[in-house]
Amino acid sequence: MAMVKLWYRFAGMLLKVLYTIIYGKSIRWGKAFHFRRGLQLTAELGGTITIGDNVFFNNDCAVHAIEEIRIGSETIFGENVRVYDHNHRFADVDEAIKGQGYSTAPVIIGEHCWIGSNVTIIKGARIGDNCVIGAGCVIDGDVPSNTVVRLEQRQIREEVHHV
């Protein structure tokens, strides 16, 4: 097990060097930032990503910025989380969607948050400090500090009909 952890740390250091070479100061991270397999970070078209201290990303997470994404210290991410500060424009039916550009808004994720697996956080989302975002949620607005967001459990009842 120690060898696996050592490998993850080494691979993570190499990836951080690669991100620094490709994106320069567009992507910044604090102390003890670490991640598992498959993390994707992109900051394009002048976008920035700022990641605080002691942030952890589990397997297969992605953070894509063309404006601004900020993630507070001590925040942890479950597997397969996606964070986008942009969306395709699609209002003009006479033009291909890929040619219409993007609409953008900053994404801010507070400190001490837990973002569950398969969460998608999209442009304009502002998540306060000490929040839990349950697995499978889509966040596109304000989540006040100290809030738990989860998908509502639906109770499915089987009705029995007597003939």
The answer to whether position 64 is within a domain reads yes
* CATH code, 100: 2.160.10.10
User: Structurally, how many domains does the chain consist of?
Assistant: 1
3-state SS record for 131-146: CEECCCCEECCEECCC
pLDDT tens for each residue of 69-115:
999 999 999 999 999 999 999 999 999 999 999 999 999 999 999 99
The answer to whether position 158 is within a domain reads no
For the cut 60, the answer to whether the pLDDT of residue 156 exceeds it is no
What's the whole-model pTM score? 0.86
pLDDT tens for each residue of 5-53:
777 777 778 888 888 888 889 999 999 998 988 999 999 999 999 999 9
The answer to whether position 111 is within a domain reads yes
Domain that holds residue 121: 2-149
Q: If phi over 0 gives left and psi between -120 and 50 gives alpha, with beta otherwise, what is residue 146?
A: left
